[in-house]
Structure 1
């Protein structure tokens, strides 16, 4: 296995652990409230937390700081909009955990976040290695 592939897998693990903490352990009530509103301080804080923790992950694998800051700013913007779309959908449908459509939206949300990480690793491999 090449060093680049090993580092990519380490980065993937770091981003997965980051996602676990930012999405499930570190969300405040403000971050969870009003998810369907477009301009929402809590969602901005949540997306910012994701971006900051991604900076840490990328720096741990030796990515250059300017590249890391640009990539993580893009991730924060994407994360904000992915979560807003899920919140808007939840507000429009008024579905909760007892409804299958809630879990479909949750699954699509998580898939989009995971695809964001694939894109970030891809960008790292092209521009930072």
Structure 2
């Protein structure tokens, strides 16, 4: 099949976006850990950390939704070349792992909100 774009480029973009999600959530968790060292600004840093984690969750979710739509688009193509046919299932698994990570970050976020911010 002749596509006017490269599916591997879309996969690389998705992997880059998930990497950004991991880094952003790591920054959010680091801010919450070090907020204890700043007594005067502890509550503000906890709120900032929560905002960073929420951003990370939405960023990863949006990346996964777009990539799933692209995978569905590729599955509908009549003559998709072989390297991409075998990759579709693997790419779908990547989005599943991203959703699992998002759930883990959501649990951490709820713990932060209910234990630290709303106390």
TM-score calculated relative to the size of structure 2: 0.36
TM-score calculated relative to the size of structure 1: 0.34
